[in-house]
A and B are shown apart, each in its own frame.
Chain A
Amino acid sequence: MSSSEERKLILKSSDNEEFVVKESSAVQCLTIKNLVEDRCVSDPIPLANVDSKILALVIEFMEKHAETTLSNSEKKEFDVEFVKKPFDDLLELILAANYLDFRELMDVLCNTCAKQMENWSVEEVREKFNIQNDYTVEEEKAARAENPWAFE
């Protein structure tokens, strides 16, 4: 790296909005890191699976975690505030984090999802995720009788 300035990358969301980020933060996403290392970077990098709202959030997280001056507990505090979002947003963030291969964000989000789901009953899970019950009555009876209480 010859330049004394920070190298910047331009990321383009699916709705054609462009975001400028520092390369050092962006390479936390392994997908972007691989593109950069293989020198296949076309300016701007199109990320067609991530819309602008989500991409803005991802970049916010990315930059916070790339800052070396912050301590781990400060980053954790930021994470706690960051995940206070509606559930649908969290799911979209998970998809984006998976697509960008951003391990840290994935871990934080998956843990949050799991915590939110804790102690939900069957009906609650169906309602909150808007999932249709595709068991027939007999099948459901059989499934419940399969003794989930028979083991830990």
Chain B
Amino acid sequence: MMRMLMRRSSKQLRPRNWFLFKQLESGSQNLSVNGITFFSFYFPQIVFLFHLIYTLVKDYCFCNFFSNFLSLTKFHCNLSVLMKKAHKTMQAMKLVNPFASLSEEIKSTILDCLDEDSETKKSFSLVCKSFHSIESHQRKTLKPLYIELISRILTRYPLIHHVDLTYCPRVEDRVLWSISNAYWSTLKSINLSRSRFFTHMGLSSLASKCWGLIELDLSNATELTDAGAAAIAEAKNLEKLWMARCKLVSDIGIGCIAVGCKKLKLICLKWCVRLTDLGVGLIATKCKDIQSLDLSYLLITEKCLVPILQLQYLKELILVECPGIDDVGLGILKESCKSLEVLNISKCHNMSNVGLFSLINGAERLSHLSLAYGSAVTDDFAKCWYKLSGLKSIKLDGCLVTFSTIKAIGDWCVSLKELSLCKCPGVTDEGVSYIAQRLLQLQKLDITCCHKITCASIDSITNSCSSLTSLRMEACCMVAQEAIVLIGQRCQSLKELDITDNEIDDEGLESISRCTKLLSLKMGVCPNITDCGLSHVAMSCQKLIELDLYRCISITDDGIAAVANGCPALESINMAHCDKVTDASLLSLSQCLQLKVLEIRGCPCVSSVGLSAVATNCKKLSILDIKKCCNIDDTGMISLARYSQYLKQINLSYCPVTDAGLVALASISRLQNMTILHVTGLTPNGVVAALFAFRGLMKVKLHTSFKASIPQSVHSVMEHRGCVFHWRNKAFQVETDPNGWQIQLPRHDG
């Protein structure tokens, strides 16, 4: 028998005696298995039974007991002989095929270490049949690109835990039905936040069959009704539920969920505007395990807060812009929730500090508080900060902060790590210096648009806050360039720095380059910085991930080349309106293989040659803004179509692209978001042809002049697919950007 095996080992084995081969292949991993190997030469059936029992009791360490037992018996000497022979067989096999000697378990473990969306796994599966089967059983997450092909994917991958349907705008009930049939035992989480066209019946099959479902994301399901909510209630083990913008769901629906999903820990009901105190109160009364509750923009009052604050495990409460909650009502609250850690009452205009303190009376663990754009912060408040001494993070964006408030924060909140005074008009040097000298543990400070701040504040901040990791000072226009030098000298643990619209020159940049841990550097609207300064940054800040050079008009190709050479981890770069930048910059940027976001709008010297270079090498490119690049034409589109398979969002307004270029883009399967305003080369027929060709498109921005020329039938087809049109009436702008100084940061739809 051994000789037979030796002969077989020279070819790729497909063993008849599967069981025996398995034992040898797994390399005689345990002594007990060796015992089995010994027996297997004489009693295959008995061995099979033995192995079955062994597998069943493995968890109780019988194997160890068994191995010890064996080693003490007289079989031991025979065993070692056999082990040597088994080992020799293995050696013979290894010479031919080292990877085959690894067991499936090990191969699975190696596959686990690969990135989830890596192409390697897919190559791996095509190598041979056994690899195909290993990969099929190892994969746990699925993100389909084409919903039509899902049935084949479902049969191939039987053990999926997470299904992400965000690339599929149209998901019908039968798809949910097939998913629930295929993964009824394994499914844990499903994301339907960007999909429409399913109804309560599909949800019901998911919720009732997949008993392991713990996470469900139904945000943006604007057509979901109470029937849908009742269907969700069938998911008895649900722990996390997102229902943002489900505008049609009412108290009845939420009541069903409250009664059905008793294990809920997180629920997001943002914008579910039909909900009232009744529904929310039911959730609070029935779902005792809730840890995170988001009730933003709802018309609720303090009545539902009574049961909410009695929740034992509540950690996070978000009440952004709840106009129904006011001081008078809050006065009835007796005590707050002891476990509350995060509270967000931004934009609650009817709540002042009186109401706030009724809300947090007794919340000893409160660590994160956001009062942005609200009315709570007044001089009276200053007297009450002593109650909030345990806070770690405070956000006061847009509030009327005066010196007395800042002084109180500095006096009492000594363990503060994060402070945001973004757009607070009353912030002065006196306040900032006071705070800086007392809050020595401060890590993140945001003083965006604090127009009264001068160099003195920066001096105190940099002197005292040595562990500062993030500083945002966009548009602090009174700060002189000397201050920037101080930042570089003293705050060397900075990871994030935003000095957009500040006075800075190359000397300042040279100093900033000492912050070698910088990950994100935003220097928009800094016309005095040149390539020289930029190269200092490029040479020292090698971990840089994000760089914003919006309107830094003195930057040329040399500076960008330095950045590309020095920062290999670069993922996002904004060179909008840097008009000296040419194709050479894009050629250098093609070395940054991690590049995901590229914004070159308003760069007239850039052409398709440069864009093709980036497209060919930067395979992860996902957001591209080439608005007003008057030299990028169809050739560039064809390169994108060929290489940029991960492209999700593109803006090609004002580009000389024609119908052919637009249709070429349709082959990019992940493209979801497209803006094509004032693209003069497009004709209505061309646009229609292109729209038909796109399969995953979710959002298209077109000029209203096209609306009439696109037939109604096309509109309905696109709607059927789940694509939404956004019509814009902007007039054709000759200048590259008439609102020069306004910084337009792109929204990254996740």
Indicate if the CB atoms of A131 and B142 lie closer than 8 Å: no
Q: Smallest CB–CB gap between A14 and chain B, Å?
A: 6
> Which of chain B's residues have a CB closer than 8 A to the CB of A4?
none
Indicate if the CB atoms of A149 and B106 lie closer than 8 Å: no
Indicate if the CB atoms of B68 and A151 lie closer than 8 Å: no
Indicate if the CB atoms of A151 and B110 lie closer than 8 Å: no
> Which of chain A's residues have a CB closer than 8 A to the CB of B103?
98
Indicate if the CB atoms of B72 and A40 lie closer than 8 Å: yes
User: Chain A binding site: helix, strand, loop or mixed by DSSP?
Assistant: helix
Indicate if the CB atoms of B153 and A113 lie closer than 8 Å: no
Indicate if the CB atoms of B87 and A14 lie closer than 8 Å: yes
Please give me the residue from chain A that is nearest to B153 by CB atom: A151
Indicate whether A138 reaches chain B with its CB closer than 8 angstroms. Answer: no
Indicate if the CB atoms of A122 and B127 lie closer than 8 Å: yes
Indicate if the CB atoms of A119 and B71 lie closer than 8 Å: no
Indicate if the CB atoms of B124 and A125 lie closer than 8 Å: yes
Indicate whether A114 reaches chain B with its CB closer than 8 angstroms. Answer: yes
Query: Given known contacts A38-B68, A46-B80, is B129 in contact with A135 (CB within 8 Å)?
Result: yes
Q: Smallest CB–CB gap between B669 and chain A, Å?
A: 7
Indicate if the CB atoms of A114 and B27 lie closer than 8 Å: no
Question: A152: which of B94, B117, B125, B129 is its contact (CB, 8 Å)?
Answer: B117
Question: B83: which of A48, A92, A115, A130 is its contact (CB, 8 Å)?
Answer: A48
Please give me the residue from chain A that is nearest to B65 by CB atom: A38
Indicate if the CB atoms of B127 and A111 lie closer than 8 Å: no
Indicate if the CB atoms of A49 and B28 lie closer than 8 Å: yes
Indicate if the CB atoms of B119 and A88 lie closer than 8 Å: no
Chain B 1-60 interface residues, beta-carbon cutoff 8 Å to A: 11-12, 14, 27-30
> Which of chain A's residues have a CB closer than 8 A to the CB of B129?
134-135
> Which of chain A's residues have a CB closer than 8 A to the CB of B127?
122, 125-126, 129, 131, 133
Question: A110: which of B80, B110, B146, B645 is its contact (CB, 8 Å)?
Answer: B110
Indicate if the CB atoms of B152 and A117 lie closer than 8 Å: no
Please give me the residue from chain B that is nearest to A148 by CB atom: B122
Please give me the residue from chain B that is nearest to A40 by CB atom: B68
> Which of chain A's residues have a CB closer than 8 A to the CB of B71?
40, 42
Query: Number of contact residues on B: which range applies?
Result: 35 or more
Q: Smallest CB–CB gap between B37 and chain A, Å?
A: 12
Question: A147: which of B84, B117, B149 is its contact (CB, 8 Å)?
Answer: B149
> Which of chain A's residues have a CB closer than 8 A to the CB of B152?
146-147, 150
Please give me the residue from chain B that is nearest to A109 by CB atom: B110
Indicate if the CB atoms of A152 and B128 lie closer than 8 Å: no
Please give me the residue from chain B that is nearest to A121 by CB atom: B123
Distance of A92 Cα from B65 Cα, bound (Å): 27
Indicate whether B680 reaches chain A with its CB closer than 8 angstroms. Answer: no
Please give me the residue from chain A that is nearest to B646 by CB atom: A152
Indicate if the CB atoms of B110 and A129 lie closer than 8 Å: no
Indicate if the CB atoms of A130 and B96 lie closer than 8 Å: yes
Indicate if the CB atoms of A118 and B120 lie closer than 8 Å: yes
Q: How many residues of A contact B (CB 8 A)?
A: 50
Question: A150: which of B12, B96, B99, B144 is its contact (CB, 8 Å)?
Answer: B144
Distance of A148 Cα from B135 Cα, bound (Å): 12
Indicate if the CB atoms of A110 and B125 lie closer than 8 Å: no
Indicate if the CB atoms of B98 and A132 lie closer than 8 Å: no
> Which of chain B's residues have a CB closer than 8 A to the CB of A59?
none
A48-89 vs B, Cβ < 8 Å mask (1 yes, 0 no): 110000000000000000000000000000000000000110
Indicate whether A7 reaches chain B with its CB closer than 8 angstroms. Answer: no
Indicate if the CB atoms of A130 and B68 lie closer than 8 Å: no
A30-52 vs B, Cβ < 8 Å mask (1 yes, 0 no): 01001100101010001011000
B88-108 vs A, Cβ < 8 Å mask (1 yes, 0 no): 000000101111111101100
Indicate if the CB atoms of A148 and B125 lie closer than 8 Å: yes
Indicate if the CB atoms of A113 and B110 lie closer than 8 Å: yes
> Which of chain B's residues have a CB closer than 8 A to the CB of A14?
84, 87
Indicate whether B181 reaches chain A with its CB closer than 8 angstroms. Answer: no
Please give me the residue from chain B that is nearest to A90 by CB atom: B98
Indicate whether A20 reaches chain B with its CB closer than 8 angstroms. Answer: no
Indicate if the CB atoms of B114 and A117 lie closer than 8 Å: yes
Indicate whether B332 reaches chain A with its CB closer than 8 angstroms. Answer: no
> Which of chain B's residues have a CB closer than 8 A to the CB of A110?
106, 109-110, 112-113
Indicate whether B175 reaches chain A with its CB closer than 8 angstroms. Answer: no
Indicate if the CB atoms of B126 and A148 lie closer than 8 Å: yes
Indicate if the CB atoms of B106 and A132 lie closer than 8 Å: no
Indicate whether B111 reaches chain A with its CB closer than 8 angstroms. Answer: yes
Distance of A34 Cα from B14 Cα, bound (Å): 35
> Which of chain B's residues have a CB closer than 8 A to the CB of A38?
64-65, 68
Indicate if the CB atoms of B120 and A117 lie closer than 8 Å: yes
Indicate if the CB atoms of B98 and A130 lie closer than 8 Å: yes
Indicate whether B701 reaches chain A with its CB closer than 8 angstroms. Answer: no
Indicate if the CB atoms of A49 and B146 lie closer than 8 Å: no
Indicate if the CB atoms of B144 and A132 lie closer than 8 Å: no
Indicate whether B363 reaches chain A with its CB closer than 8 angstroms. Answer: no
Indicate if the CB atoms of A48 and B80 lie closer than 8 Å: yes
Indicate whether B137 reaches chain A with its CB closer than 8 angstroms. Answer: no
Indicate whether A26 reaches chain B with its CB closer than 8 angstroms. Answer: no
Distance of A35 Cα from B65 Cα, bound (Å): 10
> Which of chain B's residues have a CB closer than 8 A to the CB of A91?
98-99, 101-102
Q: Smallest CB–CB gap between A132 and chain B, Å?
A: 5
> Which of chain B's residues have a CB closer than 8 A to the CB of A115?
113
> Which of chain A's residues have a CB closer than 8 A to the CB of B99?
91, 129-131
Indicate whether B720 reaches chain A with its CB closer than 8 angstroms. Answer: no
> Which of chain B's residues have a CB closer than 8 A to the CB of A126?
127-128
Q: Smallest CB–CB gap between B163 and chain A, Å?
A: 10
Please give me the residue from chain B that is nearest to A117 by CB atom: B120
Please give me the residue from chain A that is nearest to B83 by CB atom: A48
Q: Smallest CB–CB gap between B433 and chain A, Å?
A: 38
Distance of A103 Cα from B89 Cα, bound (Å): 26
Q: Smallest CB–CB gap between A57 and chain B, Å?
A: 16
Indicate if the CB atoms of B123 and A122 lie closer than 8 Å: yes
Question: B98: which of A88, A140, A149 is its contact (CB, 8 Å)?
Answer: A88
Q: Smallest CB–CB gap between A121 and chain B, Å?
A: 5
Q: Smallest CB–CB gap between A115 and chain B, Å?
A: 8
Distance of A24 Cα from B354 Cα, bound (Å): 62
Indicate whether A95 reaches chain B with its CB closer than 8 angstroms. Answer: yes
> Which of chain B's residues have a CB closer than 8 A to the CB of A132?
11-12, 128
Indicate whether A106 reaches chain B with its CB closer than 8 angstroms. Answer: yes
Query: Given known contacts A49-B27, A118-B118, A132-B128, is B98 in contact with A111 (CB within 8 Å)?
Result: no
Q: List 29 A-B contacts (CB under 8 A).
A: A40-B71, A40-B72, A48-B28, A48-B87, A49-B27, A49-B83, A98-B103, A110-B112, A114-B110, A114-B113, A115-B113, A117-B110, A117-B114, A119-B120, A122-B126, A129-B127, A130-B98, A131-B100, A131-B127, A131-B131, A148-B126, A149-B145, A149-B669, A150-B153, A151-B142, A151-B153, A152-B116, A152-B145, A152-B167
Give 9 A-B pairs besides A130-B98, A149-B645 with Cβ atoms closer than 8 angstroms: A46-B80, A91-B101, A110-B110, A115-B113, A132-B128, A143-B125, A143-B126, A143-B132, A150-B152
User: Which B residues contact A (CB, under 8 angstroms)?
Assistant: 11-12, 14, 27-30, 61, 64-65, 68, 71-72, 80, 83-84, 87, 94, 96-103, 105-106, 109-120, 122-129, 131-132, 142-146, 149, 152-153, 156, 167, 645, 669
Give 8 closest A-B pairs by Cβ, nearest first: A114-B113, A148-B122, A152-B143, A129-B99, A40-B68, A152-B117, A150-B149, A48-B83
